[in-house]
A and B are shown apart, each in its own frame.
Chain A
Amino acid sequence: GENVEQHPSTLSVQEGDSAVIKCTYSDSASNYFPWYKQELGKRPQLIIDIRSNVGEKKDQRIAVTLNKTAKHFSLHITETQPEDSAVYFCAASINTDKLIFGTGTRLQVFP
């Protein structure tokens, strides 16, 4: 079955810097890649997603890139702010079938 690896497990950045979180998936048939953000004590919420027919997608300060050949996808956050501090989860699925999540990245943005 699908396996998703996520790195790094923790990431600390200065406010205003960029942050990059990387994920690798195992099943080449996967074609849907969402990212969820979970703030402390809250439930995970979708922040951005990408499908395999697209190489990059942006939404204001966040972007996701997909390399199907290498089976990698990454989340990029620019101009980080303290409110970006949270745990970020990547996930992969086939045709929006069951989502398999990575182990999460705890991002801390220091003012």
Chain B
Amino acid sequence: KAGVTQTPRYLIKTRGQQVTLSCSPISGHRSVSWYQQTPGQGLQFLFEYFSETQRNKGNFPGRFSGRQFSNSRSEMNVSTLELGDSALYLCASTRDSGANVLTFGAGSRLTVL
């Protein structure tokens, strides 16, 4: 079966712009979590969605938001981009709510100039 698919894989934005990233979970998985990966900071939890509801949220500013659709696909949005938002954004899916075994996508690498 298809894995977790993230689009776009690479993108370049400038400060002040906004960006939307997409994540399609494994078929049958209803939970999607988002993580920001930067060198030295590891994987920082952004939020988790289950059945179109945000179940958990990390310690990121309100510029970071997300949503989940009825088909379990999820999007995250970052508004008013800052240089420090440059990172690899990973999403992961699980069958049920709660982390359990995360299956990660390949990530979306965002560069903010």
Say which residue of A32, A44, A98, A103 sits within 8 Å of B56 (CB atoms).
A98
Query: Are A101 and B45 also in contact (CB < 8 A) when A43-B106, A43-B107 are?
Result: yes
Q: Which A residues touch B48, using CB under 8 A?
A: 98
Task: Decide if A74 is an interface residue (CB 8 Å cutoff).
Answer: no
- The size of the chain B interface, using a CB distance under 8 A, is 23
Which single residue of chain A is at the shortest CB-CB distance from B48? A98
Query: Are A101 and B101 also in contact (CB < 8 A) when A43-B107, A44-B90 are?
Result: no
CA–CA, A34 and B56, complex, Å: 19
B105 and A34 form a contact (CB under 8 A): no
Q: Which B residues touch A102, using CB under 8 A?
A: 42
Task: Decide if B11 is an interface residue (CB 8 Å cutoff).
Answer: no
Task: Decide if B68 is an interface residue (CB 8 Å cutoff).
Answer: no
B101 CB, min distance to chain A CBs, angstroms? 5
CA–CA, A95 and B75, complex, Å: 26
Give the 9 A-B CB pairs with smallest separation, nearest first: A103-B42, A99-B99, A101-B43, A96-B98, A43-B104, A98-B56, A96-B100, A104-B42, A96-B99
Q: Could you list which residues of chain B lie within 8 angstroms of chain A, going by C-beta atoms?
A: 33, 35, 40-45, 48, 55-56, 58-59, 90, 98-102, 104-107
